[in-house]
Amino acid sequence: QKEVEQDPGPLSVPEGAIVSLNCTYSNSAFQYFMWYRQYSRKGPELLMYTYSSGNKEDGRFTAQVDKSSKYISLFIRDSQPSDSATYLCAMSPPSMDTGRRALTFGSGTRLQVQP
Partner 1 sequence: GAVVSQHPSRVICKSGTSVKIECRSLDFQATTMFWYRQFPKKSLMLMATSNEGSKATYEQGVEKDKFLINHASLTLSTLTVTSAHPEDSSFYICSARDFAGWRGDTQYFGPGTRLTVL
Binding site for partner 1 (CB under 8 A): 31-32, 34, 36, 41-46, 49, 51, 88, 90, 92-96, 98-103, 105-108, 110
Number of residues in the chain: 115
Asked whether the CA dihedral 40, 45, 47, 52 is positive or negative, the reply is positive
Among 49, 41, 47, 43, smallest CA distance to 83 is for: 47
Give the other-Cβ count within 10 Å of 17's Cβ: 14
CB-wise, 92 or 112, nearer to partner 1?
Answer: 92
* Shortest distance in whole angstroms from residue 104 CB to partner 1: 9
Residue whose CB is less far from partner 1, 2 or 77: 2
- Name which of 56 and 110 has its Cβ closer to partner 1: 110
**Cβ 74 to partner 1, closest distance in Å?**
16
Q: How far is the CB of 63 from partner 1 (least distance, A)?
A: 14
Strands 11-14 and 109-114: parallel
Query: Which amino acid is it at 18?
Result: I
